[in-house]
Amino acid sequence: CSKDIAVLHCNKSTALYNLGKWRESVLSAYQSLRWDPEYVKAYYRAGHSLVMLSDSYGAVSMFHKGLTLLNASADRTQVADFVAGIFISVNDERVFPPAFPQAYDYIFSARFDALTWQAVIERLAQKGKWRSCLLLLSEKKELPSNLRVNQVSLKSLFETCELYGHGEKMQEVVELVKWLISMGAKVETIGAYLLHAVIRLCIK
């Protein structure tokens, strides 16, 4: 019975999230966890709602707790969702919240396989979370050597390069592009006119 009530509260949280009522969504997710502290989906919903409220500390904590509850047989997609959630939580942060280092260490000690990491990178790329991709680039030696990311489009990386402003080095963008291409991203995905895209990037 308690699990059924937890599911109901989590469903309510999802509905509120889709309505843009993120604070109410968080509260419903917390209600769900009061009824069933091991209901992984509620951690996921709470995490994304906290991201929308710019509460990176709370978001990382929720995603991390949910990730640790997933067992070894968990679906790769679900694992990738939680790992990506942790990185999404800090994508726009200049100073990482205290909860992040522990979650970061856990992620790289878990030794996820190449398909899981592929899904993580593709999720980050689809959402334009390029600073989070740079974090992964800094730890590329810890990632599987057979990692491939064929579905990543470089177009949005070039279009959103202003995210790297405020004194950050453009060289980081270069390294990120080279890294993604080395894993299978296609240069052609920058757009139909590659030189134009590069020129626009240089102008910015």
Please give the chain's pLDDT, 204 residues, in tens. Answer: 889 999 999 999 999 999 999 999 999 999 999 999 999 999 999 999 999 999 999 999 999 999 999 866 578 899 999 999 999 999 888 888 999 999 999 999 988 999 999 999 999 988 888 888 888 888 888 899 898 988 888 877 776 665 555 445 677 778 888 888 888 888 878 777 777 777 766 666
Residue 36 maps to which CATH number?
1.25.40.10
Give the predicted TM-score (pTM) of the model. 0.85
Burial of 19 (0-12, 13-18, 19+ CB in 10 A): exposed
How big is the chain, counted in residues?
A: 204
Question: Cα–Cα distance between 113 and 140 in angstroms, integer?
Answer: 13
Alpha-carbon gap, residue 79 to 85, rounded angstroms: 10
79 and 127 share one domain: no
**3, 104: one domain:** yes
Q: Is 111 left (phi over 0), alpha (psi -120 to 50) or beta?
A: left
Domain of 118?
Answer: 114-203
77 and 35 assigned to the same domain: yes
Give CA 87 to chain center in angstroms: 4
Q: Do 107 and 128 fall into the same domain?
A: no
Does residue 46 sit in the same domain as residue 80? yes
Looking at the structure, do residues 121 and 105 belong to the same domain, yes or no? no
Which pair of tokens denotes residue 102?
A: 């522990």
Amino acid 84 reads: A
